[in-house]
Amino acid sequence: MRIAVMGAGSIGCHLGGHLARQADAEVTLIGRPTAMAVVAEKGLTLTSGRREPLHVPADRIAVATEASAAAGADVVLVTVKSDGTRAAARELAPHLKADTVVVSFQNGLHNAEALREELPQLTVLTGMVPYNVLQTEPGWFHQGTGGALMLDDDASGAPLVAALTAAGLRVEPRGDMRAVQYAKLLMNLNNAVNALSGVPLRAQLSDRSYRTCLALCQREALAAFRAAGVTPAQLGAVRPALMPRLLRLPDPVFTRLAKAMLAIDATARSSMWEDLQRGRLTEVDSLQGEVVALAGRNGLTAPANARLAALVHEAEQAGQGAARAWSGPELLAALRADA
């Protein structure tokens, strides 16, 4: 199987690296010149708190910086940020064969739809990555949380499911990927909280004030979902509607009841935190911004999400590594001020 990864950042290198370890897979990563130069020289090292590091030698994986490198691919995994989806599709379009399967493994609700609009002759599947992956040093990518990859339960995706499974990754074909996307959006509303906190995910989620920030965002999102007639999938032990209540429990009670949620590597952080540290634009408009827009279309407001998005944009403008680290009480007070 020939597989190309368009937008090979942390998630793309993680997925592509695992797939490249198989003898019967040819993987090409397409990404930024600096990042691809590191892979070409050193290969990839994939780490996790659940196993020993895995190394992918440089000669096992091809790298490129242009979409033309996807020519002849059987499968293209799209892992660019949401605001780059249409541009990526247009760059890929002249080079893909008629039976290429394109899979969106991106955050946000509309990327697969955008890909279908730009690539109308191709099969486009919706995928979801439940865990976070961060680059800890050039060429090293660490998976800090667990979970199963999900994608549309479609016959065209079966070879990819088999390849991912053979690569040691858990995969779950689903017939309700739209509901899964809304559930993932609820989870991803924590990305901004974590990015502004400046602390690892486990420490942040162990703090009731930070969790209350997330609960405020999720309550607004759930209200917008109800108004729009949307029911998010249940991806864990707790129904989405009950999650804000769980998050607001006192720390000792939450720690006892939410062991699975806190089963996170001590150093894991959100990808949005990494973006701010590296001086890159974030995906907050596809997360908090999506909730604000959906609420507005249904006659509601989402002040906590709007405020959080504004704070992230301020942090973006501050520049690489210069964003303020907010304590839990400070951030909660800022969100409540606009309620």
pLDDT of residue 321: 74
Q: Is 295 helix (H, G, I), strand (E, B) or coil?
A: helix
Distance CA 220, CA 244 (A): 10
Residue in this structure with the two tokens 């040093």, named with its chain if needed: 137
- Burial (Cβ within 10 Å: 0-12, 13-18, ≥19) of residue 209: middle
Residue ranges in the chain whose pLDDT is less than 70: 339
pLDDT of residue 51: 80
Single-letter residue type at 332: L
Which helix (H) or strand (E) covers residue 2, if one does?
Answer: strand 2-6
Whether the model pTM is above 0.85: yes
pLDDT, averaged across the chain: 93
Which domains, from first to last, does the chain contain?
2-175 (3.40.50.720), 185-337 (1.10.1040.10)
Query: How many helical (H) and strand (E) elements, i.e. helices and strands, does the chain have?
Result: 15, 12
pLDDT of residue 339: 66
